[in-house]
Chain A
């Protein structure tokens, strides 16, 4: 055991390394929950040395629920302008993107961008989507009716979010498959980090991949201007035409919706079924709780334990004492929601799937000004899927090994081979 000496020593002299959070191998077999537990228990914050996407030789891993909320509550001190997720960090805060992208902006800029879409994803509007979301789920179930064996990720996790998102955004049927492939790719290209210059992150690579959809987005914007419909491309396009959004803000918004609206729900759907199939205690609790009328709590519990976007990031705009550490201007704070969601200071038996638990606020969607705008829609999709699987008495078993992704950002599931019983 090392002795921690209180000096103004550089970070990293506080104890042995627990895990390398920048290494995809650390996430290859599973999320490193034991490492996060150790990080939470240690006083202060965990310093992760690295040159990937940071200017100061490393980043602070924030793993406690209360600390994460405190960071997100103070966008002035902990800004998104240099990047909103790791390792798409260490960006120029005065870049065009920092001024025009929802996830890279701070209030008041952020507030204006957020308002442009807030109503379209609000609880009452999303509640009205229920009939057609249910129709989509039923059609997906019809498609697998004749299949004895299939990949749950391909048949359910990709299709449902893709179809729902296409409808919400107003993307034509013939472009849906391309949308899904692109959305998956945007996250896959974040992975390989070899050969980068010191301090360089993945933002350029992601930006390039993102913009492969730009032409399509601009053509769709024009099409909706000519023939408006009840969808987000029309709504946000109208904001451009009346001056509420710049063209660049519009483009960043729709690209964000297409990527973020797909990937995280795709992850939630796949990982929920993996947990259900791998763990009898979870399956029993799921079935019983749904029977008890607690399906919303079931959905919340899956989301808490999965936490599809495992982290998001902020950058300190000044030197500040925080959680017992001397945080320097320019230090990146990586907020591990997936760790905060198992914080024993907040959740009793935090690793246990328990839809009857009384702690209902989680970090599955983050907190503060950037709290996920798609939360209601994501929960609706997952809830309706569970309802329809149950209504149709779909009984599945694992057939073969589930295949995880290795992302250090998203809790990816790449394949879930199943068979009907």
Chain B
């Protein structure tokens, strides 16, 4: 990805290309990774397209595996559209105990109002 790491932010996050909508993943070791995201694409898809370590999405977004679990950063939590009942239910199957900030990232559709959303990757997905 052109530009990655060449213009880092003060907090150490790599920089995706300027102006490109992005999602920021925080790895369990604290490393921040910004990846480009397109409107309508799920955050899980953005992660798997960019090869983000720690987000699996085994079932490809059909809400049947719970391996795309992320914790939405508190500052962003209210901006993501709410969980559906099915998502709520499947979160119980996540390998790491869910919190109120937990989401299955295949269920969050990227949109301009969540450009720059920060999510944390759990220590394991299975």
What residues of chain A have their CB less than 8 Å away from a CB belonging to chain B? Answer: 73, 107-108, 110-111, 114-115, 118-119, 122-124, 367-369, 371, 375-376
Contact = CB atoms under 8 A, between A and B. Distances in A.
Contact of A118 (B60, B64, B97, B124): B64
Contacts of B97: 124
Contacts of B89: 115, 119
B93 A111 contact: no
Interface in B21-52: none
Contact of A123 (B60, B86, B126): B126
B94 A111 contact: no
DSSP class of A's interface residues: helix, strand, loop or mixed? helix
B20 interface: no
B99 interface: no
B108 interface: no
Given A111-B59, A368-B60, A369-B60, A118 B65 contact: yes
A293 to B, nearest CB: 17
Interface in B83-104: 86, 89-90, 92-95, 97
Given A368-B58, A368-B59, A376-B126, A122 B93 contact: yes
Given A119-B93, A124-B95, A111 B58 contact: no
DSSP class of B's interface residues: helix, strand, loop or mixed? loop
Contacts of A369: 58-60, 62, 64-65
B117 to A, nearest CB: 25
Given A115-B89, A115-B90, A108 B62 contact: yes
B64 A122 contact: no
B58 A371 contact: yes
A374 B48 CA distance: 24
Interface of B: 58-60, 62-66, 86, 89-90, 92-95, 97, 124, 126
A376 B95 CA distance: 11
9 contacts: A107-B62, A111-B63, A118-B65, A118-B66, A119-B89, A119-B92, A123-B95, A123-B124, A369-B59
Given A367-B58, A368-B59, A369-B59, A110 B93 contact: no
Contacts of B62: 107-108, 110-111, 369
A11 B64 CA distance: 36
A369 B126 CA distance: 14
A122 B60 contact: no
A314 to B, nearest CB: 15
A242 B56 CA distance: 31
Nearest to A361: B56
Residue of B62, B63, B86, B94 with highest tally of chain A CB at under 10 A: B62
B57 to A, nearest CB: 10
Contacts of B90: 115, 118-119
Contact of B66 (A73, A111, A122): A122
